Structure 1
Amino acid sequence: MKAFTRLLPALIVACLTSPAAFAASFDCSKARTLVETAICTTPSLSAKDDLLNEHYRPLQHLKIFRELERQWLREVRNRCTAVPCIEEAYDQQISRLTPVPANPQAETPALKPAQDQQPYLQIEDAAWQRFALASFPQVKGVDYAQVVDVATLDGVLNVVIFVGEHLDQTIRSPGNSYERRYFGSLYEYSDARPGLHPIVRDIRFSGWNKIGANDQGERFAGIIDGVFYYRHRVKGEAEQSMAYTLGSKAEPQPSTQLFSAESGSKRFSKARIANDLNVENYHLRLYYPYEYDSNAYDQVMDKNDKGWSLVNPVWNETRPVLYFDNSGDFACVWRVDLQNKTLEKIVPEHEAISAVPVDVLGHEAVVYLEGDKLMFAIAPGQ
């Protein structure tokens, strides 16, 4: 408080010499805290406050931005005790709410294997902001929940999740592989309205080729142009394709269009995952395109570390970044950056699963599940 004690006399003088406070996003006649008083009496701060309000006003109907604003006020701006600190806080939040243009493909640095195949730099405390978006219903006997797909429509984040109970297990030969089927419900989250909307309840959902496996294989459910397509078993092995228009809250309708996509470990990949995560998922090795020697690869984590068990690998569509859950000793959500050769823990909670990337105003973010909550995390501001 000593720094702000030195600031207080200047604020009092400013108020006495300038009865009309500078413009601000709040009523300066009701300013009660030293931070609010500084904003109302310092022209540069008042201008930054106005600029931030211009960015925030058209976004405040969305929960993500309301939560980002609350966290920023509580944990950043209102902890300041001097004008330079407040100015820096405003600069950070204005940057956070400013759309970031996508880099042209030609300007993306060429990816190269790490030198001497050294493990990536492991970062345990990546400072991603995290908060809950919604809670999904507790289901008696539930043992499976997954983010199915995400999409941003007209600036609004939409997420589809599946919550189910284990139904049966089929053993197949050769290789003694198995397929689990789940009986459960699909829910839609829209950032422009509170809570979850049940798309359909009590179906035999067929969303992936290997439901419940570490790498789920080919996907049979996803979003295309604002429509969510999925399949469910209707009788025996027969399946029906269905379509649901996001945000409509209408009944899903039968569709002749089938959704099919590569697994998360292949879709949008910037390098090839060498090992089969359903067999050898205790470490990660990435091979690069043909211009490099066929033996050149990245050994992402130390092979001697035994606490890894990689689950739900998924590539970022716009960045050379891979995310995965870890169900081993290092349980949580991890980020693999091929360009900077880093392995970052971006969500430390051990219950965190099913991370799926999404861009928010061009900033890197993920949605994921934790317990019975749909969560959101966004990368630190640049």
Structure 2
Amino acid sequence: MAKAKIEKMICDNPSISQMDEVVHTLYFNVLKHDSSIKQEQRAWLKQRNFACTTPFYCEKAFADRINQLIDRQHIGQHDLTEGMTLPDINSLDELSLAGMTREVVKEKYRPWPRKPLLTVNGYLSRPQAAVVNDELFIYYIANVNKVATLFEYSPATGKTFAITNDSLRIATSVSYFIEEGKLHFFSIQDGSINSKTITEHQYLLGTELAPGVLNVFRHYDEERYVEYRPSGDEMALSHDRGKLAITANAMNNDRFQIVSKEGPYFAKAQQVTDLAAAKKLNSIVIYDVETNQSEIVSDNAFASGWYINSLAWSFDDQSVFFDNSGNWACIWEYDLASKQLHKIVPEHSASSPFSFHYQGNDYILYEDSIQGETYADLKGQLMLAVRPK
């Protein structure tokens, strides 16, 4: 009877009723990453029943609980850095250790603490991240029974969800992208050269719902081809579309003007860049759209004949990440303001950096691999690194 009286007080008082809904939402947010909250919540409900003798004391009980749950929610979400350690140089493989011997590299070595998030059989590729209602979701492609599959992974719960499957196969030759809470990806329906089609799908982040179909068009429709085809790992447009990063190796490739949506920016960059100097330095060109000027990144570290790949902008467009030898590379960061180049991941098996900001920290996702005795023993690792403070 007393419980019914308290519930009536909550329902009849708009302020307390609203606070009750907030407690409910916060509780289930914490429950996603900490099951011990169940026992704590039961204990609080008993305390609430004793406290709610008047609306004033009832409001105070709810306000205190809301503050407690907010603290618990943020503690759990900040836990991304738990277990991160700096690389141990002595445990590097022979190839990675050899990459640390040059003095110019030692001077630029600024390692980020890191940890593996998950390991899969076979290759893992193209990691990306997005935040939905303050919860982080990570996306990647991995092989499942020899079928490339796009996954969603929640670090808070440790759960993975296969967005695509054997009947809906992602086209690995085409980039997927995240925009306004939705993930866009593409599938290719086999057929003759003239009948092949591309289908664009859309998945609502964090929902585990079946993807919907947005567009269907012919594979060899050149106009649409530009819209969906990735520009490749050798060119990346900043998030604000104000700067274009291009490898010096790609600067002389006129095909980028035709087959990529960044083509107009690329064409202008070619016009204002000393292409011979860029090729000689074998580094990166940064083209500024607003000023119509380009900068060739000059650093003596490039003198060792790198092949730069996997260009990616930081979340704030203030730096560029890349690996320097395709799939067998360490990961570097170039800061545009300071013009400093730093090696942040020493393993030569690391590649495909993706930058994001979450709960006050700068992170990168990247892929790594564990080699076995045979190809079948190869395992892919999804890695997470945080900028040192």
- State the TM-score bracket (shorter-chain normalisation): 0.5 to 0.7
Give, as a single letter, the amino acid of the residue that structure 2 aligns with 1:206.
A
- 1:363 is displaced (CA, Å) by 2.8
Given candidates 244, 266, 276, the residue that maps to 2:236 is 266
Could you say which residue in structure 1 is the equivalent of 2:73?
58
SS of the residue aligned with 2:170?
Answer: strand
Give, as a single letter, the amino acid of the residue that structure 2 aligns with 1:198.
A
- 1:331 is displaced (CA, Å) by 2.3
Cα deviations by residue, 1:9-43 (Å, 9 ceiling, x for unpaired): xxxxxxxxxxxxxxxxxxxxxxxxxxxxxxxxxxx
Q: Within 5 A, what are the aligned runs for 1:12-31?
A: none
Q: Within 5 A, what are the aligned runs for 1:1-382?
A: 57-62=72-77, 65-70=78-83, 123-136=107-120, 138-139=121-122, 144-164=123-143, 183-202=147-166, 203-208=168-173, 219=175, 221-236=176-191, 237-256=196-215, 260=228, 263=231, 265-268=235-238, 270=243, 272-273=245-246, 275-277=248-250, 283-289=282-288, 297-306=296-305, 308-327=306-325, 331-371=329-369, 372-381=380-389
- 1:130 is displaced (CA, Å) by 0.3
For 1:341 and 1:286, the matched residues in 2 are separated by 13
RMSD: 3.9
SS of the residue aligned with 2:215?
Answer: coil
- 1:54 is displaced (CA, Å) by 9.8
For 2:118 and 2:211, the matched residues in 1 are separated by 22
For 2:327 and 2:182, the matched residues in 1 are separated by 38
SS of the residue aligned with 1:231?
Answer: strand
- 1:275 is displaced (CA, Å) by 2.1
SS of the residue aligned with 1:242?
Answer: strand
SS of the residue aligned with 1:351?
Answer: coil
| Length-normalised TM-score, structure 2 | 0.54
For 1:281 and 1:249, the matched residues in 2 are separated by 49
Could you say which residue in structure 1 is the equivalent of 2:220?
none
Could you say which residue in structure 1 is the equivalent of 2:43?
none
Give, as a single letter, the amino acid of the residue that structure 1 aligns with 2:171.
S
Residue 189 of structure 2 contacts residue 197 of structure 2 at CA under 8 Å; is this kept in 1? yes
For 1:68 and 1:303, the matched residues in 2 are separated by 32
For 2:293 and 2:204, the matched residues in 1 are separated by 45
Query: Residues 298 and 68 (structure 1 numbering): CA distance in 2 closer, same or farther, change over 3 Å?
Result: closer
Cα deviations by residue, 1:246-286 (Å, 9 ceiling, x for unpaired): 22222222223998487463321635436244977983132
Please list every run of 5 or more consecutive structure 2 residues that lacks an aligned counterpart in the other structure: 1-67, 86-103, 217-223, 254-278, 370-379
SS of the residue aligned with 1:304?
Answer: helix
For 1:326 and 1:312, the matched residues in 2 are separated by 8
Among all aligned residue pairs of Structure 1 and Structure 2, give the percentage whose two residues are the same amino acid.
23
SS of the residue aligned with 1:244?
Answer: strand
- 1:366 is displaced (CA, Å) by 0.5
Please list every run of 5 or more consecutive structure 1 residues that lacks an aligned counterpart in the other structure: 1-52, 73-119, 168-182, 210-218
Query: Residues 289 and 58 (structure 1 numbering): CA distance in 2 closer, same or farther, change over 3 Å?
Result: same
- 1:291 is displaced (CA, Å) by 8.3
| Length-normalised TM-score, structure 1 | 0.55
Number of matched pairs? 250
- 1:198 is displaced (CA, Å) by 1.4
Query: Residues 367 and 337 (structure 1 numbering): CA distance in 2 closer, same or farther, change over 3 Å?
Result: same
